[in-house]
Amino acid sequence: MTAPTRQECRRFHQAALDLAARARRIVRRAVPGRLGVRRKPDRSLVTDVDLGVERALRAEITNRFPSHGIIGEELPPRLPTAAYQWILDPVDGTLSFVHGLPLFGTIVALHHHGRPVAGVIDHPMLGTTYSAGRGLGAWRNGTRLRIRDAARTDLGDEIVSAADRSRFVELGAGRAFDRLVRTHRHVRGYYDCVAHSWAAEGSIGAVVDYGVRLWDLAATRLLVEEAGGRYVVCATRGDGAEARYGIIAGKPNVVRWLVGIFGRRT
Amino acid sequence: MTAPTRQECRRFHQAALDLAARARRIVRRAVPGRLGVRRKPDRSLVTDVDLGVERALRAEITNRFPSHGIIGEELPPRLPTAAYQWILDPVDGTLSFVHGLPLFGTIVALHHHGRPVAGVIDHPMLGTTYSAGRGLGAWRNGTRLRIRDAARTDLGDEIVSAADRSRFVELGAGRAFDRLVRTHRHVRGYYDCVAHSWAAEGSIGAVVDYGVRLWDLAATRLLVEEAGGRYVVCATRGDGAEARYGIIAGKPNVVRWLVGIFGRRT
């Protein structure tokens, strides 16, 4: 269980960026109205593009890193006991993607024994790529991200992203959600990974996201922490690949304030 | 009160696009963190960029169309009794702009005796420009927009944008808002003009926007109607420049369904 060296982290960070760039080319070639949209058993949407991206990334990972495992949203795990695991969400925010809204993204991350080593969130239609490598900082389109914390007296001016009340209810946080919405002026419902990207760059004070799965979160912790922010798991439900999480990530003082409302996993 | 000719509509449509392009250049030059942010008496935000854009557009309009009036969000009206009135919102979505979120826009519209002649919503950071001229169609970055109506059996799959419950309550529509959120799976809170743009291109089924002012709406009706959509005023409060409106705009069948929930101005 030797941790990856700094040089390995650099190489994996670059590999994650390469994979995201490959995904972006496939997504941008997609023709609106011919996406091959279907519903999965859980009623969420999947398209031929989701599957095409995941297959392309799996082929590239298997080729470059044959001993590494792969966990993707759309296809079965590969080498589930390997120390290194690539975690992929080819199109996070499929509802937005299908409707032509630019707020979706591709998530690519590498974990080593469960600890994040590299992570990328790429937004093909916004033209922004957020990436981080362990010990290497967080970046947006090549510019270093450094979160400036909010003053504790100015928390009322911070935008907090929290969407989908029903998913908070499912994880027992319906009352906390209502309390936040009732008492804070700037709660906005930014969905999916774009809210995580905006938290990592400090555009919003924090994202509170409940009901998310492993691949939805795979890049977020490293992105936010390498940018100087704070990441807290507040709730979990279920185990293994089925587990759903509630997390808060963003500026340290905003996260502390919100953990006071939502609590944290004990 | 001769209505503008088709040729005049073309000229005014191009002028509105020119003005929006000028605004975009100023907005893109703005340096994050040095925007000169202040609070207006109504507690909403204004920046030096809002004022700089409005001043630049006013100078250009006064120069090209000296007999036309101007109504802008940030400065006093010019020639308020003129037949032609330019209506300007230099930065719609100032909260997003100040925080570095790309969801704001510039609104430029020309009305003749209260009827829209040309309208533009420009999103400098999304790289999208939506425009329409009376009888000339609606356009996005030079491509004609044609809304495909939703089948009445598929309304449940349509995204409806509705944000800020408090503004619905102010216009007496709090119960209608709650009914929509309780009964429809895909209600999302997209704020400001980007929700109007997405309704005009049919990415979302409809936008329901309450508490908005004249300049927030100045381009929306023409954009949506020229794209083949429907626009309905559901509520008003107050008079003249102080008036606040509640509107629904988007795909005809989605708008009809929502008017059944929210009612319309009688």
Whether B259 shows a pLDDT value over 90: the answer reads yes
List Cα–Cα distances, A259 to A173, A253, B219, in angstroms: 12, 10, 42
Phi-psi group of A192: left, alpha or beta (phi > 0 → left; psi -120 to 50 → alpha; rest → beta): left
CB B235 within 8 A of CB B212: no
Averaged pLDDT score across all residues of chain B? 95
On the 0-12 / 13-18 / 19+ scale of CB atoms within 10 A, B152 is: exposed
Whether B164 shows a pLDDT value over 90: the answer reads no
Write out the DSSP string of A167-205: HHHHTT-HHHHHHHHHH-TTEE---THHHHHHHHTTSSS
Buried b / exposed e along A212-229 (16+ C-beta atoms within 10 A): bbbbbbbbbbbbbbbbbb
pLDDT value of position A36: 86
| Minimum-distance CB partner of B191 among A101, A188, A204 | A188
- Side-chain-side CA neighbours of residue A111 (13 Å): 21
Q: How far apart are CA B131 and CA B134, in angstroms?
A: 10
pLDDT value of position B241: 75
pLDDT value of position B40: 85
Most confident of B37-46, B157-166, B223-232: B223-232
Spacing of C-alpha B71 from chain mean position: 14
Determine phi and psi for A254, rounding to 5 degrees: -70, -40
**Helices within B127-251 (DSSP H only):** 165-170, 174-183, 193-200, 214-217, 220-226
The mean per-residue pLDDT over the stretch B170-178 comes to 95
Cβ of residue B135 closer than 8 Å to a chain A Cβ: no
Is B159 in contact with A95 (Cβ distance < 8 A)? Answer: yes
Lowest mean pLDDT among B91-100, B127-136, B200-209: B91-100
| Minimum-distance CB partner of A126 among B102, B163, B186 | B102
Q: How far is A43 from chain B (nearest CA, A)?
A: 11
pLDDT value of position B68: 98
Establish, for the pair of chains A and B, how many residue pairs have beta carbons separated by less than 8 Å. Answer: 35
For residue B143, the cross-strand partners are B140
Give, in degrees to the nearest 5, the angle at Cα B136 between B134 and B138: 90
Task: Pull the structure tokens for residue A162.
Answer: 């929290």
Among residues A45, A48, A28, the alpha carbon closest in space to that of A36 is found at A48
Tens-place pLDDT, residues A118-149: 999 999 999 999 999 999 999 999 999 999 99
Residues of chain A with Cβ-Cβ distance to B100 below 8 Å are: 201, 203
Cβ of residue B188 closer than 8 Å to a chain A Cβ: yes
| SS3 state of residue B124 | coil
Q: What is the ipTM of this complex?
A: 0.90
For residue B105, the cross-strand partners are B92
Q: How far is B42 from chain A (nearest CA, A)?
A: 14
What is the number of other CB atoms lying within 10 angstroms of the CB of residue A42? 5
| Minimum-distance CB partner of B203 among A100, A127, A203 | A100
- Length of chain A as a residue count: 266
For residue A245, the cross-strand partners are A212, A236
pLDDT value of position A31: 75
Confidence of residue B46 (pLDDT cuts 50, 70, 90): confident
User: Which contacts qualify for B137-140: CB closer than 8 Å, 24 or more apart?
Assistant: B137/B226, B137/B227, B138/B200, B138/B222, B138/B223, B138/B224, B138/B226, B138/B227, B140/B197, B140/B200, B140/B201
Cβ of residue A169 closer than 8 Å to a chain B Cβ: no
Is A101 in contact with B203 (Cβ distance < 8 A)? Answer: yes
Cβ of residue B99 closer than 8 Å to a chain A Cβ: yes
Cβ of residue B186 closer than 8 Å to a chain A Cβ: yes
For A220, the enclosing helix (H) or strand (E) is helix A220-226
**Which chain B residue shows the shortest CA-CA distance from A32?**
B203
pLDDT value of position B1: 67
The mean per-residue pLDDT over the stretch B147-167 comes to 94
Cβ of residue B70 closer than 8 Å to a chain A Cβ: no
Query: For A78, which DSSP code?
Result: B
pLDDT value of position B45: 84
Chunked into runs of 10 residues, chain A (266 residues) has average pLDDT values of 92 98 95 81 86 97 98 94 97 93 97 97 97 98 97 95 91 95 92 97 97 95 98 93 93 98 90
Is A159 in contact with B95 (Cβ distance < 8 A)? Answer: yes
